[in-house]
Amino acid sequence: MAFAAGGLARMAHRRATAPADWAVALHGGQIAVVGNRLLVLPVADMPETAARLYLGEIDGRSLHAVDLPAPPALPAGAAFTELRAAMRHLPPAEAEAAATAKALAHWHRMHGFCSACGVPSVMAAGGWHRDCPACGTRHFPRTDPVVIMLVRRGDRALLGRSPGWRPGMYSCLAGFVEPGETLEAAVRREVAEETGVAVGAVRFVHSQPWPFPSSLMLGCVADALSDAITVDPEELEDAFWADRTAAARMMAGADDTVTMPGEGTIARDLILRWLADRLD
């Protein structure tokens, strides 16, 4: 899965003091790449007014991210691209660095003012918190937990599609965890709200950072207690039960009416694990 293999040494103890030598460039939510690698540039080549966000170390080299207000001239062969398009091709440590950079830069763009008193806050610790000079409140980057679940019943899995997805696209059900809620309760609530299907046993499988803009996907397997589907049109456009044979055809691209989650996503991984009997 993209972003989940690790390899970035975050070096939290160096965030305030790490040398600003190398950086990846962001602009308009896109990240600079060259081929199948992140484009890494000397920080000295970046505008001095652009904030440096410390990401950590890769192969002993300190790496920052710089969120640029205007696109700079890039070397031949390099370009800014959507991270969704690049995520499957980046080496694991670089993919983690890119996800961290995108999520952290978005948080800074959205949280320039103290939520306690409204005064402009100041970036500190290499971008890992913002401090209010007026009231002293310290603000930390947020990550939003999202449950994503392979709901199964017998030899079938529950698939749904949200309004606005590309035509024919179906995936696992998913939803944000609410305050005061366990991930197991969130799975049961979301499945019931979206499809009317009751869920019993829930088990966590694994997770994936998802910086679009700042989520952590909590992958689960859930056992359904009922079959009937009643779609909430505010949540889903459609949902259906797929047996293994049909799901395998869809995953192989052999169904002209249904497309499945893309490579690198936790949704695709959960479905593949279910097809291979590797969820238990």
**The CATH number fitting domain 12-109, selected from 3.30.70.100, 3.90.79.20, 3.30.43.10, 1.10.420.10:** 3.90.79.20
The per-residue DSSP string of 61-88 comes to EEEEEEE-SSPPP--TTEEEE-HHHHTT
Is the Cβ–Cβ distance between 94 and 32 less than 8 Å?
no
pLDDT of the chain, 280 residues: tens digit per residue = 999 988 899 999 999 999 889 999 999 999 999 999 999 999 988 888 888 999 999 998 999 999 999 988 899 999 999 999 999 999 999 999 999 999 999 999 999 999 999 999 999 999 999 999 999 999 999 999 999 999 999 999 999 999 999 999 999 999 999 999 999 999 999 999 999 999 999 999 999 999 999 999 999 999 999 999 999 999 999 999 999 999 999 999 999 999 999 999 999 999 999 999 999 8
Residue found under tokens 């640029």: 68
Distances (CA, A) of 6 to 130, 205, 263: 26, 17, 18
Quick one: pLDDT at residue 146? 98
Give the DSSP H or E segment for 116.
none
Phi, psi dihedral angles at 156 (to 5 degrees): -125, 155
* Range list for CATH 3.90.79.20 in the chain: 12-109
Q: What is the CATH number of domain 144-275?
A: 3.90.79.10
Q: Using the 8-state DSSP alphabet, how is residue 9 labeled?
A: B
CA-CA-CA-CA torsion sign (260, 266, 270, 276) = positive
Q: How many CB atoms lie within 10 A of CB 227?
A: 12
Quick one: pLDDT at residue 44? 87
- SS3 call for 56: strand
**pTM of the shown model:** 0.94
